[in-house]
Amino acid sequence: MKVLCGIGGSDDSFRALDRTVERAAVANDDLTVAVVDNEDASPTTDEVIARVEATVSEAGIDAEVRRVEGDPGSRLVELAETEGFDEIVLGGGHTSPMGKITLGSIAEFVLLNAKTSVTLVR
């Protein structure tokens, strides 16, 4: 399966990365990790890329890591469509005190606009 994992540096996105890399190692998925700009995350983009590369290397898999500039949600949807990805994996979604799931703006945009399958890791 051809998988696109979008990561912006939040804890949720690193959880999504870890799960996606674990699955790719077992299922032999063709993995691309798209590092997007996320103003809400504290690590810099270079720090996120370094952590992604270390995670991929530790798992012993081949994965493309690329920086994606522009609006994160629309760029992820565009990449998935133009490059024929089977799935987009994102971190996100928090449970409110009332038990409802709240989504970040990137995850919400991708879920509402992607024509491919989307997996949201919480």
Indicate the SS3 state at residue 90: strand
What pTM did the predictor assign?
Answer: 0.93
Running DSSP on this structure, what letter comes out for residue 89?
E
The full DSSP string for 23-83 is HHHHHT-EEEEEEE--TT-SS-HHHHHHHHHHHHHHHT--EEEEEE-S-HHHHHHHHHHHT
| pLDDT, tens only, 93-114 | 777 788 888 888 899 999 999 9
CB 112 within 8 A of CB 10: no
Q: Please tell me the predicted confidence (pLDDT) of residue 104.
A: 85
Question: Which range (14-23, 35-44, 52-61, 93-102) has the least confidence?
Answer: 93-102
pLDDT digits (tens, 9 = 90+) for 56-80: 999 999 999 999 999 999 999 999 9
Computed over every residue of the chain, the mean pLDDT equals: 93
Crossing angle of helices 105-113 and 72-82, rounded to 10° = 30
